């Protein structure tokens, strides 16, 4: 066997009409005999076969078969083309296609010799000198085998130097099999891995006149070209493991932290749901955590010392009260209340809506990292409490929602939903963005996009109020002054709602005049209920019925007080006028007495 190392060999066989059928059979046996003495395989010698006449046909490529049996079966199935003799075209195909890496040739840096064996019986009908030179320059070693009528000059033009080792002329097809042994000796040469001390740690690969070392799978060859080191497949950071990457002989596997299991994709980790085991005994809810679980009570209930059972803290949280705004517990009972400015309806549960004036309302909510996921859920509940106050419809109030962090995202525009239920569901489906706090960028987006007619804002000529509500929990990372000013100049009534670390100066810059009525603040996310009430009082205009004017109670009280004070002042002045008149009459009488006394003395 030829075991000097891997080769990439392509047989280029002449099947022109001058090759008679029994002669073509001899060429089949020639190829089969040579292949029978080669160490073929994916990592050993690879073999391809093409035949040509006036055209070129690929029988099988270097990547098609890796066993002698498959190769012999394909060779025995060849049907000769029986046309012209376009040898130059065949060499061109071998160079451009058969010896390409796409067809199975090893890359040049591997150092695997590329050998073309051309077998022909006549003179080429096209030019071969130039294309053969290109093939040799591309690193292909060409053996030219001529039979009977072959042109020796053409063979010498095709073959690699030295010509005495690469050009063969056989008198007849019957003698070509005898030539196979001679050709075999030329092809194989000496096994350099057997002849010298190679020093390869894993395996040695012979090449004509030399050798090189290879490593086993999972190892890489070191700079000395002989020793091998394990490949750390985790080191390049491309493994995609969610928790831990573990190198295993050139590959890797992902592992999860305690309390998690590896998902089907073998990379991500899923927390073990300990509650699903069914042995938690929680009265209300079981919450899984890494390495265990804990019990949680529904809203309005308190977890008892046994850490499993729950007790109601008040009736509002213990029953389905149905209050639209707020349920107030009393001893042994409860009742519903509405926000200031709204009245409880006859059903004792619902509140009057803000319906006298329709508005286009866009809420801009802070989705930065400082908000945190659990508080972001409270923000969404805050938004839905506001929606509950409005009569939403295409002809009534329209609502849009924008979320911002380091970037801005329209969650839904003004013309997306036409009912409060649709909006509330969409709000609860909003995903938390995290990252920075670019409030100025959000204001710009609101002015340029959210209140455009394309996104559902009604034309300014319709005189529908445009209201912008900005919700934030911290200092903006960009300038807000310009776009806050532009928003108000464009006719948008701006409300600013701050929580936690929100900066009052920025809230006042956003809010419309009078500022005190257009900005609100809460110390934390759990105490935002009063902000909803403040907002509803400022956006819901007072409603009139018929011709009866409804005045603010404070305004009536002030008018009554003014009238009372005025009457008191007038009464005081009247009393003083009476006293003054009496004094004047007394003085007049005295003057008259003095005049009489003077007259008597005269």
CATH of the domain at 345: 2.10.25.10
470 vs 584, which has greater pLDDT? 470
401 and 505 share one domain: yes
Q: Is the pTM of this model over 0.85?
A: no
394 and 525 share one domain: yes
Q: Range with the lowest mean pLDDT among 103-112, 191-200, 373-382? A: 191-200
- Is the Cα dihedral 571, 576, 577, 579 positive or negative? positive
The whole-number pLDDT of residue 547 equals 34
Whether 581 is covered by a domain: the verdict is no
Interval 54-68 mean pLDDT: 95
- Is the Cα dihedral 316, 319, 323, 325 positive or negative? positive
133 and 47 share one domain: yes
CA-to-CA dists, residue 344 to 322, 338, 388, 456, 549, angstroms: 13, 6, 14, 32, 21
- Is the Cα dihedral 574, 576, 581, 585 positive or negative? positive
35 and 80 share one domain: yes
Interval 169-173 mean pLDDT: 71
Whether 561 is covered by a domain: the verdict is no
What is the SS3 assignment for 387?
A: helix
The tokens for 164 are 């005495």
The whole-number pLDDT of residue 1 equals 47
Residues 6+ apart with CB under 8 A from 111: 207, 212
Hey, which residues does 499 pair with through a beta bridge? 522
14 and 125 share one domain: yes
Q: How confident is the model at residue 542 (pLDDT cuts 50, 70, 90)?
A: very low
The whole-number pLDDT of residue 433 equals 92
Residue (of 94, 146, 90, 86) closest to 115 by Cα position: 94
Whether 544 is covered by a domain: the verdict is no
The whole-number pLDDT of residue 554 equals 41
Hey, which residues does 230 pair with through a beta bridge? 219
172 and 304 share one domain: no
Q: Three-state SS string across 421-447, please?
A: HHHHHHHHCCCCCCCCCCHHHHHHHHH
Integer Cα distance of 503 and 499 in angstroms = 9
- CB burial of 212-232 (b: ≥16 within 10 Å; e: otherwise) equals bbebeeebebeeeebebeebe
44 and 175 share one domain: yes
182 and 285 share one domain: no
The whole-number pLDDT of residue 543 equals 40
Q: What is the total count of domains within the chain?
A: 4
Bridge-based pairing state of the strands 301-303 and 140-147: unpaired
398 and 318 share one domain: no
The whole-number pLDDT of residue 548 equals 31
Whether 234 is covered by a domain: the verdict is no
461 and 510 share one domain: yes
Interval 314-343 mean pLDDT: 75
SS3 content of the chain, % helix, strand, coil (to 5): 35, 25, 40
The whole-number pLDDT of residue 236 equals 76
CATH number of 117's domain: 3.40.50.410
519 and 489 share one domain: yes
Whether 174 is covered by a domain: the verdict is yes
Whether 230 is covered by a domain: the verdict is no
Highest mean pLDDT out of 176-185, 214-223, 244-253, 486-495: 486-495
82 and 148 share one domain: yes
pLDDT at 475 over 50: yes
Domain housing 166: 7-188
pLDDT tens profile 269-305: 999 988 988 888 899 999 988 888 899 988 767 889 8
pLDDT at 332 over 60: no
Whether 92 is covered by a domain: the verdict is yes
Cis peptide before 162 (omega within 30 of 0): yes
Whether 228 is covered by a domain: the verdict is no
């Amino acid at each position: 066997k030829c075991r000097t190392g891997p080769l990439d060999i392509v047989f280029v066989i002449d099947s022109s009409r001058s090759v008679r059928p029994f002669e073509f059979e001899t060429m089949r046996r020639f190829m089969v005999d040579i292949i029978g003495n080669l160490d073929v395989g994916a990592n050993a010698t690879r073999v391809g076969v093409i035949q040509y006449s006036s055209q070129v046909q690929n029988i099988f490529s270097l990547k098609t078969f890796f066993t002698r049996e498959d190769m012999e079966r394909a060779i025995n199935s060849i049907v000769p083309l029986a046309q012209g003799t376009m040898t130059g075209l065949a060499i061109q195909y071998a160079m451009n296609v058969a010896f390409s890496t796409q067809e199975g040739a090893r890359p040049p840096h591997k150092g695997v010799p590329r050998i073309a064996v051309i077998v022909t019986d006549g003179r080429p009908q096209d030019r071969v000198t130039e294309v053969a030179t290109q093939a040799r320059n591309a690193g292909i070693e060409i053996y030219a085998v001529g039979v009977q009528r072959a042109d020796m000059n053409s063979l010498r033009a095709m073959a690699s130097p030295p010509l005495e080792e690469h050009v063969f002329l056989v008198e007849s097809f019957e003698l070509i099999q005898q030539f196979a042994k001679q050709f075999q000796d030329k092809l194989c040469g000496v096994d350099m891995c057997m002849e010298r001390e190679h020093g390869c740690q894993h395996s040695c690969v012979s090449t004509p006149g030399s050798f090189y070392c290879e490593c086993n799978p999972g190892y890489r060859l070191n700079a000395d070209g002989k020793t091998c080191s394990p490949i750390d497949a985790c080191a390049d950071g491309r493994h995609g493991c969610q928790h831990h990457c573990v190198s295993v002989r050139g590959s890797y596997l992902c592992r999860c932290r305690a309390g998690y299991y590896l998902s089907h994709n073998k990379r991500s980790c899923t927390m073990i749901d300990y509650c699903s085991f069914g042995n938690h005994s929680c009265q209300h809810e079981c919450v899984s955590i890494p390495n265990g679980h804990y019990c949680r009570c529904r809203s309005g209930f308190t977890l008892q010392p046994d850490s499993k059972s729950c007790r109601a803290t008040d009736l509002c949280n213990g029953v389905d009260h149905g209050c639209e705004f707020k349920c107030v517990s009393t001893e042994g009972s409860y009742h519903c209340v509405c926000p200031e400015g709204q009245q409880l309806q006859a059903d004792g549960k619902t509140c009057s809506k803000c319906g006298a004036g329709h508005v286009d309302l866009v809420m801009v909510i802070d989705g930065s990292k400082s908000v945190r996921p659990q508080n972001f859920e409270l923000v969404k509940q805050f938004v839905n409490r506001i929606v509950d106050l409005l009569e939403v419809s295409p002809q009534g109030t329209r609502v849009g929602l924008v979320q911002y962090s380091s970037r801005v995202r329209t969650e839904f525009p003004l013309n997306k939903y036409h009912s409060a239920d649709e909006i509330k569901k969409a709000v609860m489906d909003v995903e938390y963005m995290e990252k920075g706090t670019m409030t100025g960028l959000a204001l710009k987006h609101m002015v340029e996009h959210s209140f455009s007619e394309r996104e559902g804002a009604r034309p300014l000529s319709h005189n529908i109020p445009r209201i912008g509500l900005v919700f934030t929990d911290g200092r903006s990372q960009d300038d807000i002054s310009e776009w806050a000013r532009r928003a108000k100049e464009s006719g948008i009534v701006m409300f600013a709602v701050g929580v936690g670390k929100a900066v009052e100066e920025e809230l006042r810059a956003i809010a419309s005049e009078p500022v005190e009525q257009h900005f609100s603040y809460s110390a934390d996310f759990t105490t935002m209920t009063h902000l909803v009430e403040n907002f509803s009082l400022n956006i819901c205009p007072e409603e009139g019925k018929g011709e009866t004017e409804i005045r603010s109670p404070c305004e009536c009280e002030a008018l009554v007080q003014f009238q009372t004070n005025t009457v008191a002042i007038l009464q005081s002045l009247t009393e003083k006028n009476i006293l003054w008149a009496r004094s004047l009459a007394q003085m007049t009488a005295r003057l008259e007495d003095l005049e009489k006394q003077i007259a008597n003395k005269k």
